[in-house]
Structure 1
């Protein structure tokens, strides 16, 4: 008999709340700070609402959920499910996974932890795939192995619109910021093993976008879906979607508003693309 599974994740997963409820997914919201206000991501404020407010505040940040919220959740789940899988945004960028696992120990419940190495679209797809494999009769250890395979085969590229907030966060040096402003250099960032790395420094946005598309071209034939993410830049996202259709009419594309955690650092106008290659079969 198939064991029941509860999925614990965080609000960077971008999952539809109805889908989450139907599939025993419990989403613990990250905290977003604007000025002196604190919001639970996707509960107190949507991504779109957050970005509208972000224009009015120079002071903005984010933090992981408090450990007590996880403890309370695990206490409520431990007698209702046979297994619990906790899958969260990259442990290299947030302490959410570590906090989640610590909370499970405090609640004295066994949890299988998985590091998605990302967030947003890849995290969402990993959870959906895991639920599919569970319905196919896979064990928790088999599901974990398959999801970790996905995490090692994700592609995630970001073109930040501004280096100001990246500089404040310590991810870009003062010298890099000054040079980029003087020369109008654009960065192409890449998720690599859970970390965000500066892949290229390019003089124009058009060339930076083409470089991102060149990376996608290398994976054509291995992928079916591409997610385009943006921070209040719907027009550029739609232009990217048209270019993808020209590259491969069979590609399924979707446009998503970027999760605020990234938008806070990368700034309004940021665009990104993500896809998963060589997904493991059932």
Structure 2
């Protein structure tokens, strides 16, 4: 009988209790700030990161997982008695982490590692890892799980509204003038993932309109009620509470998972983010 392990990276933002329940191996990306390197979610928590963001103009820099780290983890899992590994990672358009996993697989010269490009970010990747975990519980074989994840990945939808523009300015995504004008006009950009990359879905005046626009995005796409649905935030619990009500009242969804967006995503967005993850029909 096959014993299947699940590996993902720290950008997947899976709640800790679910990581522990399903024994998911989470490999951290690294974040460098002022010549010191930290491991995402290990020795750098979200509050530490937000403090760094507020200290000055220099933004922390994120780095992909390198192949050697994946090689070590895969080898350890095989030594522990697993004979199949499913490794699920953030979009290959946004990071070299997926490619590092492929290189590590090739270094081990095995067909027993199945590497999945999630084509998305944050808990969009996490939802695929949890899908794999549930299918393992149901006794599905590795080929069926791998094929299911590759069917679901293009259906994954992620959108998040940003309350603050200063971090986009610090990261070079907005000029100082654009950020100043946008702040003055109370502009809230909504970012989404399309074709595995970030893009602007819309820009609204005020956070309430931004939340409404995300609801409309779900309605326009349609959502698969049989699959996981999630909402989350980077330290914006007031707007999250309002969004919960909108999700319940306007989408009829009251069974969803709450995700806490992690440090890698927050490096670019800062605090004041509300996001949504779902699968289109």
Question: Structure 1-normalised TM-score?
Answer: 0.85
Contact 2:234 2:266 in 1 (8 A): yes
Could you tell me how far 1:222 is from its partner in structure 2? 3.4
Superposition pairs for residues 157-168 of structure 1, below 5 Å?
157-168=159-170
Counterpart in the other structure of 1:270:
273
Counterpart check, 1:242 vs 2:261:
no
Could you tell me how far 1:133 is from its partner in structure 2? 2.0
Could you tell me how far 1:194 is from its partner in structure 2? 1.4
Q: Output one character per residue of 1:167-215: Cα deviation in whole Å (capped at 9) or x when no partner.
A: 4545446775465345443211111121111121233333222211212
Counterpart check, 1:257 vs 2:254:
no
Residue range with higher mean Cα deviation, 231-240 or 134-143: 134-143
Superposition pairs for residues 183-202 of structure 1, below 5 Å?
183-202=185-204
Superposition pairs for residues 19-38 of structure 1, below 5 Å?
19-21=18-20, 23-38=22-37
Could you tell me how far 1:254 is from its partner in structure 2? 3.9
Could you tell me how far 1:136 is from its partner in structure 2? 3.1
Q: Output one character per residue of 1:41-96: Cα deviation in whole Å (capped at 9) or x when no partner.
A: 12113224432443335422211123322222122233432211111111111111
RMSD across aligned C-alpha pairs, in angstroms? 2.6
Secondary structure of 2:55 counterpart: coil
Counterpart check, 1:128 vs 2:130:
yes
Unaligned stretches of 5+ in structure 2?
none
Counterpart in the other structure of 2:144:
142
Please give the alpha-carbon distance, in whole angstroms, between the structure 1 residues aligned to 2:27 and 2:143. Answer: 23
Counterpart check, 1:56 vs 2:55:
yes
Higher RCO (C-alpha under 8 Å, 6+ residues apart): 2
Question: Structure 2-normalised TM-score?
Answer: 0.85
Counterpart in the other structure of 2:211:
209
Distance 1:172 1:148, change over 3 A: farther
Counterpart in the other structure of 2:84:
83
Counterpart check, 1:73 vs 2:73:
yes
Please give the alpha-carbon distance, in whole angstroms, between the structure 1 residues aligned to 2:12 and 2:41. Answer: 10
Distance 1:221 1:126, change over 3 A: closer
Superposition pairs for residues 105-124 of structure 1, below 5 Å?
105-110=106-111, 111-124=113-126
Please give the alpha-carbon distance, in whole angstroms, between the structure 1 residues aligned to 2:132 and 2:192. Answer: 25
Unaligned stretches of 5+ in structure 1?
none
What is the aligned length? 277
Counterpart in the other structure of 2:158:
156
Counterpart in the other structure of 1:45:
44
Please give the alpha-carbon distance, in whole angstroms, between the structure 2 residues aligned to 1:254 and 1:137. Answer: 24
